[in-house]
């Protein structure tokens, strides 16, 4: 089943729908305009990049990804497989992330995981394939679906920047938990990934980034 995807056109459409529905999102649009698409190319390299983003800053992960790409020549399953965990750790990856990347490379290279087929599956089916792989938790899988497959109704569970943005705009005493975030996001269906982009834009602006 083909899911709704985000393009430049549907992003603006989703923002306008959400702005009418939620006064806090209206204020974000009024103040900052429309968020970037923040799209990535579907495939192995993007998934590796998202693994590197786990629990570190976007900037730090980008630096590490560029270092890895420079060292290998290209971030492909075959080259990551050939390098192995030891060589990836020499580049700067943690033991855990090196293991995750090699395991992902093994699955893709063997044909056990066909990333190109995810787009033809509904979100639940596709996510289950990815969640079966060590190191690919809900946040990593959701961000891949948001950025690479550009699904419109995905919410990245447990994202700390979104929690901080929600605390700001909803004037909460504390950052909302993962479950509390999902409750807030329920009202934004089927445009939750658009709402997330608006909140990320707010988060970056509030911190001068």
Residue 69 has a pLDDT of 98
CB atoms within 10 A of CB 102: 22
Domain 8-39+154-206 shares a fold with domain 44-147: no
Cβ atoms 76, 44 nearer than 8 A: yes
Alpha-helical runs (H) found in 33-94: 44-52, 58-72, 77-91
What the block records as the tokens of 126 is 């596709």
Overall fold of domain 8-39+154-206: Endonuclease Iii, domain 2 (1.10.1670)
The pLDDT of residue 35 is 98
Residue 29 CB partners (closer than 8 Å, separation 6+): 15, 16, 19, 198
Cα dist from 160 to 6, 52, 153, 178, 196, whole Å: 23, 16, 19, 9, 12
Q: From CA 65, how far away is CA 74, in angstroms rounded?
A: 10
Q: What's the CATH code, domain 44-147?
A: 1.10.340.30
Q: Which two tokens stand for residue 109?
A: 């290279």
**Confidence band of 2 (pLDDT split at 50, 70, 90):** low
> Where does residue 114 rank: exposed (0-12), middle (13-18), buried (19+ CB within 10 A)?
exposed
Coil vs helix vs strand at 151: strand
Q: What is the mean pLDDT of the chain?
A: 95
Q: What is the pLDDT of residues 59-90, one digit of tens each?
A: 999 999 999 999 999 999 999 999 999 999 99
- DSSP for 126-139, please give it: HHHHHHTSTT--HH
- Average pLDDT of 45-72? 96
Per-domain boundaries in the chain: 8-39+154-206, 44-147
151, β-bridge pairs: 5
Mean per-residue pLDDT for 98-115? 97
Q: Which whole number is the average pLDDT over 140-162?
A: 95
Q: Please state the φ and ψ torsions of residue 56, each to the nearest 5 degrees.
A: -135, 170
pLDDT for res 36: 97
């Amino acid at each position: 089943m083909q899911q709704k995807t985000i393009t430049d056109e549907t992003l603006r459409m989703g923002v306008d729908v959400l702005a009418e529905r939620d006064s806090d999102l209206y204020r974000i649009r009024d103040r900052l305009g429309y968020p970037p698409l923040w799209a990535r190319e579907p495939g192995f390299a993007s998934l590796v990049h998202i693994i590197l983003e786990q629990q570190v800053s976007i900037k730090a992960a980008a630096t590490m990804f560029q270092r890895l790409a420079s060292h290998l020549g290209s971030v492909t399953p075959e080259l990551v497989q050939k390098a192995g965990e030891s060589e990836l750790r020499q580049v700067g990856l943690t033991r855990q992330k090196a293991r995750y990347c090699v395991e992902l490379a093994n699955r893709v290279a063997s044909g056990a995981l066909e990333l190109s087929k995810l787009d033809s599956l509904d979100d639940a089916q596709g996510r289950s394939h990815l969640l079966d792989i060590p190191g690919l938790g809900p946040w990593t899988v959701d961000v891949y679906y948001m950025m690479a497959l550009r699904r419109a109704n995905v919410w990245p569970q447990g994202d700390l920047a979104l929690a901080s943005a929600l605390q700001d705009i909803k004037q909460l005493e504390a950052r909302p938990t993962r479950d509390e975030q999902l409750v807030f996001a329920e009202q934004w269906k089927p445009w939750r990934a658009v709402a997330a982009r608006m909140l990320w834009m707010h988060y970056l602006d509030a911190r001068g980034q």
